[in-house]
Amino acid sequence: MRPALLLLSLLLLFLGGCGRRQTVNPIPTIFPEATPAAVTTVPPAPTATPGIASLRDGLGHPNWQVRLATARRLPERPDIPAAERAAILLEALEREIASPGDLPPPEGAYLSADALLRLQLTRTLSELGPEAEPALRRAVESGPDALRARAILALGLAGEADVAPEVRALLRESDDEEIRMTAARVLGILNDRDAIPDLERALSDPFSATGKDHGGSFTIYPVREQAGGALEALGMTVERLDNDQFRLLHP
Amino acid sequence: MLIDDMLRGPVQPVHRLLPILLILAVLGALVPAAPPAEAATPATISGVMRYSVHGLLAYPAGIAHSLIGGSLGGPVILARITNALRLFTSLPGLSDNPSMQEMNDFLREGVPVDLAQLGIDSTYDAWLEFTLEQQSDKSFGLQSGVVRWSTANRTHFDLGDHQLIDDLHGSGSATLDPATSSITLTFNFEDSPATFELDVDVTHPAPIDGTSVWRFGQGAGEISYEEHGGRRVWDVKIGGVPAGAITGADSGMVDEMEPFNYPISYLRRAPLSELKGRETWLNVADAQMLVEYELFDSCTAWIEEPGDRMTFDDAPPGRIDSFGGAAVEPQAWGDDLEWTFPDIKGSKLTSDPGDRRGRVVKFLYEGLPEKNSVFGEQEIRATFTSAREECDDPEPQRVRVFFSRDASNNPDGSVPNWFYYWKQTRAGQGHAAAMRYDPGCDSDTLGYFEGYNDRSQENLIYICDLGDFNTSNGVTGSYTEGIDTFAHVVLHEWTHLENYHDWWGASGYDEKLDRDEDLVRDTRESAYGLSPKLKDSLGLGYRDVEYPAFLQEDTWPMGAANREDWANPGKQSGGS
């Protein structure tokens, strides 16, 4: 009995399984809708990596800290083309410029949360690599003034030396203290010795801010600070005096 | 009612399947099969039945009961009374050999009400558990079983000249002997829908103890007996004096009796959907009858309540007021369950009922524990006691116990629960003793270190209200939620504390050694990539003192304390 059953099973297996392989692939044509249905039964990953749409949402989140966190994750997402990341970051930066949240400085900071966020977005743009450069240059060419300035700074932070003249102009002429302080820093990064006169003048920049941290309240002159740092990076010697005064000591 | 509704639930799998199983079992017996290697074990069905009588004839004993109702035992008792009455030849209205009619007439004489309408306080309750074995294609017969019974007759009539007092009771259990008892279950699959017939015809010995007294003639006479273990001793008094002393006759008659065999008889024919049923009716003597029965293939139970999580409420002292509820099939055995609720050290547990017995038992924990580790995974058990042979205990219910994150009903009482318990976890990073909670911080301040301004504070860090428990690192942008935010704040402030001691040593902060006034000692700035000439060396909006702390925050392994987070909301309660 058992050998007979075994033989019968093998025969059925052959007819039902092996034999079908020789037919002309009927399943895709007969049940073309089967595949998508099967896919829908697969549960999504519990912690899905956010796609570009989710990242765009994160950059528009009402909470500025979520916007900051989303932006700072973008350099770590090589799976998304840098051009796309640059595009959504520039969109976000434009929104932040156009509609600041009037947020106070967060704990320990001397700049408002809006300003910190704009600084971080600009830094992040500089960290996306060469593939992001075309998007930044387009913004330089055709973007609104405030966005254009930050695109220039991002290129400078990324080491693109050709923007140095425009950065110097920003340091000299911008009435936006965030831009001036970053421009000063960028000139040091670019090792732009032509900027020394502008940087020396920036050591007397009038912009000051106050903050409060573990040592209590403090005053800072951010443009002077960054100009002093840039001059030191250029090999100059800067002396820090009392009351946030700086003096360039020529070598 | 609400609890019952909740426990009843939408699905009762065993009962829905049982008719099908039965059909398959019966039909399976009809299918011709090859001779088995061994004799097949007959199919069995289990059952339980509650049989209850309340009223006249509930138990046929006692003078009052028998005289008023007449019963199976009534004639015996009345015969004795008749003999006893012969001693009262002077009583009017009775002949020397009074008949039952005379006796009843005598009783009714001068009674202004119909005795048959009087309430009889007599009850009999029986609980049967039995197993039926397949005997033919379509019928099952009694294989084994047990009956547990109790009865009480506390009838008391005061009718002026007549006082009738029965005070008898008994209880016990007996195995069901197929030789003297029968329970059969027969299926009729030709009916549409298919039906079954349950026929119960059971008797069991039912001895009782107690006394029964009849006083009459305004105390002139008293007839009584005392019964114990099937031995009944009669006593007759005339004017309070034993009758024997007056008449010379023997008034102390004794009956040595076989225990009364109580009959339980019930017949039910119904569709298979009613394998669990209940009936009440008045019997021919107007006694209230109740029968509940349930037939099942196996005894099953599962815990339905509480769910898989319990959270202490917000108010002091913190309570979990809930209940354990089980679905039991047969449901009647739910009363046999005994619950075990976990010990939550530091919390007082009470239950209702106190013996934790029943299908539904309320429990209450009062007071939050001292240790965070006491929260979390616990197990609630329910086990059968008397029915443990027949029923498998339900699977223990795993529950997770949480505290309310934002309440302050912890043993300290002055700090929020999240602070009290999270500092005990890895998120506290071993700094619980040096950690203080400050409820008065600015709204955007999550924590602070005060050592730079006040040397008495140089070994403490302060944690503030964490708001919505979400934040991002102002320098790196890393975003944290819940207990991870707490861990980041602790690590940030602790870094300040460590840096302070590292940079400034025993002598404390010295502004002469900090040219740029960024709180970092000039000689240590380069070790962090900072400049001793700049307050904000990185140009990101903070003084340099903040950067080591911000960067250190990101060394916290995100999620490292998740498994210790028993806050609700929290990492393990479905929140963040």
- Chain A residues with beta carbon closer than 8 angstroms to that of B453: 214-216
Q: Note the pLDDT tens digit of each residue in B395-437.
A: 999 999 999 999 999 999 999 999 999 999 999 999 999 999 9
Euclidean distance between CA atoms B149 and B201, whole angstroms? 15
Please answer yes or no on whether B543 and A110 come within 8 Å at the CB atom: yes
Nearest-5° Cα angle at B382, B376 to B387: 165
Query: What proportion of chain B, given as a percentage, has pLDDT over 70?
Result: 81
Please answer yes or no on whether A232 and B446 come within 8 Å at the CB atom: no
Q: Considering CB atoms only, which of B470, B476, B537 is closest to A72?
A: B476
Euclidean distance between CA atoms B476 and A75, whole angstroms? 12
Per-position b or e across A205-242, b if 16+ CB within 10 A of its CB = bebebebbbbbeebebbbbbbbbbbbbbbbebebebee
Instruction: Return residues 47-66 of A near B (CB < 8 Å).
Output: 63, 65-66
Please answer yes or no on whether A68 and B472 come within 8 Å at the CB atom: yes
Q: Is B57 a residue whose pLDDT tops 80?
A: no
Q: Considering CB atoms only, which of A72, A110, A240 is closest to B541?
A: A110
Query: What mean pLDDT is predicted for residues B448-466?
Result: 96
Radius of gyration of chain A (CA): 29
Digitized pLDDT (tens) for each residue of chain A, 251 residues in all: 344 443 333 333 333 333 333 323 322 222 223 333 333 333 334 456 788 999 999 999 999 999 999 999 999 999 999 999 999 999 999 999 998 888 899 989 999 999 999 999 999 999 999 999 999 999 999 989 899 999 999 999 999 999 999 999 999 999 999 999 999 999 999 999 999 999 999 999 999 999 999 888 999 999 999 999 999 999 999 999 999 999 999 76
Euclidean distance between CA atoms B185 and B177, whole angstroms? 17
- Chain A residues with beta carbon closer than 8 angstroms to that of B496: 214
Euclidean distance between CA atoms B486 and B564, whole angstroms? 13
Preferred mutation among B438, B441, B442, B444 to probe A, highest tally of A CBs within 10 A: B444
ipTM rounded to 2 decimals:
0.81
Smallest CA–CA separation between A28 and chain B, in Å? 40
Q: Note the pLDDT tens digit of each residue in B68-102.
A: 665 444 434 444 554 455 455 445 555 443 433 44
Euclidean distance between CA atoms B373 and B382, whole angstroms? 24
Average pLDDT, rounded, for chain B: 83
Find, among B51, B527, B490, the residue nearest to B289 by Cα. B51
**How many residue pairs from chains A and B have C-beta atoms closer than 8 A?**
110
Query: What proportion of chain B, given as a percentage, has pLDDT over 90?
Result: 56
Question: pTM for this structure?
Answer: 0.68
Does any CB of chain A come closer than 8 Å to the CB of residue B537?
Answer: yes
Secondary structure element (H or E) that encloses residue A39, with its range = helix A34-40
Please answer yes or no on whether A218 and B543 come within 8 Å at the CB atom: yes
Residue of A nearest to B464 (CA): A107
- Chain B residues with beta carbon closer than 8 angstroms to that of A182: 539
Please answer yes or no on whether A214 and B452 come within 8 Å at the CB atom: yes
CA atoms within 13 A on the CB side of B142: 22
CA distances from B6 to B11, B14, B132, B319 (A): 11, 18, 32, 22
Smallest CA–CA separation between B137 and chain A, in Å? 30
Q: Is B266 a residue whose pLDDT tops 50?
A: yes
Contacts of B12 (CB under 8 A, 6+ apart): B327, B329
Token match 């009435």: residue? A175
Preferred mutation among B446, B473, B536 to probe A, highest tally of A CBs within 10 A: B536
User: Which ranges of B378-537 does DSSP label H, i.e. alpha helix?
Assistant: 417-422, 483-504, 522-525
SS (H, E, C) B67-104: HHHCCCCHHHHHHHHHHHHCCCCCCCCCCCCCCHHHHH
Decide: B368 and B568 in contact? Cβ < 8 Å: no
Smallest CA–CA separation between B188 and chain A, in Å? 38
Lowest mean pLDDT among B72-86, B432-446, B447-461, B538-552: B72-86
Euclidean distance between CA atoms A116 and A122, whole angstroms? 10
- Chain B residues with beta carbon closer than 8 angstroms to that of A63: 470
Euclidean distance between CA atoms B171 and B38, whole angstroms? 43
The beta strand positions in B330-413, using DSSP E, are 337-340, 348-352, 360-366, 376-384, 397-404
- Chain B residues with beta carbon closer than 8 angstroms to that of A217: none
For the beta carbon of residue B532, count every other beta carbon within 10 angstroms. Answer: 19
Euclidean distance between CA atoms B187 and B278, whole angstroms? 19
Q: Is B388 helix (H, G, I), strand (E, B) or coil?
A: helix
CA distances from B250 to A76, A189, B20 (A): 112, 131, 67
Please answer yes or no on whether A213 and B478 come within 8 Å at the CB atom: no
Secondary structure element (H or E) that encloses residue B152, with its range = strand B139-153
Does any CB of chain A come closer than 8 Å to the CB of residue B180?
Answer: no
Query: And the tokens for A42?
Result: 């697969």
pLDDT given at position B63: 82
Terminal Cα distance for chain A, rounded: 105
Does any CB of chain A come closer than 8 Å to the CB of residue B541?
Answer: yes
Please answer yes or no on whether B534 and A229 come within 8 Å at the CB atom: yes
Euclidean distance between CA atoms B111 and A159, whole angstroms? 120
Please answer yes or no on whether B478 and A65 come within 8 Å at the CB atom: no
Contacts of B536 (CB under 8 A, 6+ apart): A110, A220, A222, A225, A226, B518, B542, B543, B544
Per-position b or e across B231-257, b if 16+ CB within 10 A of its CB = ebebbbbbeeeebbeeeeeebeeeeee
- Chain A residues with beta carbon closer than 8 angstroms to that of B534: 225, 228-229, 240
SS (H, E, C) B283-297: CCCCCEEEEEEEEEC
Does any CB of chain B come closer than 8 Å to the CB of residue A217?
Answer: no
Secondary structure element (H or E) that encloses residue B3, with its range = helix B2-8
Please answer yes or no on whether B546 and A108 come within 8 Å at the CB atom: yes
CA distances from B28 to B20, B42, B456, B557 (A): 12, 11, 87, 62
Decide: A164 and A194 in contact? Cβ < 8 Å: yes
Decide: B194 and B187 in contact? Cβ < 8 Å: yes
Decide: B200 and B49 in contact? Cβ < 8 Å: yes
Using 50, 70 and 90 to split pLDDT, how confident is the model at B219?
confident
Please answer yes or no on whether B479 and A115 come within 8 Å at the CB atom: no
Tell me: cis bond preceding B306? Omega within 30 of 0 counts.
Answer: yes
Query: And the tokens for B44?
Result: 């069995």
Does any CB of chain A come closer than 8 Å to the CB of residue B517?
Answer: yes
Smallest CA–CA separation between B326 and chain A, in Å? 32
Smallest CA–CA separation between A109 and chain B, in Å? 5
- Chain A residues with beta carbon closer than 8 angstroms to that of B504: none
Please answer yes or no on whether B540 and A116 come within 8 Å at the CB atom: yes
Decide: B6 and B305 in contact? Cβ < 8 Å: yes
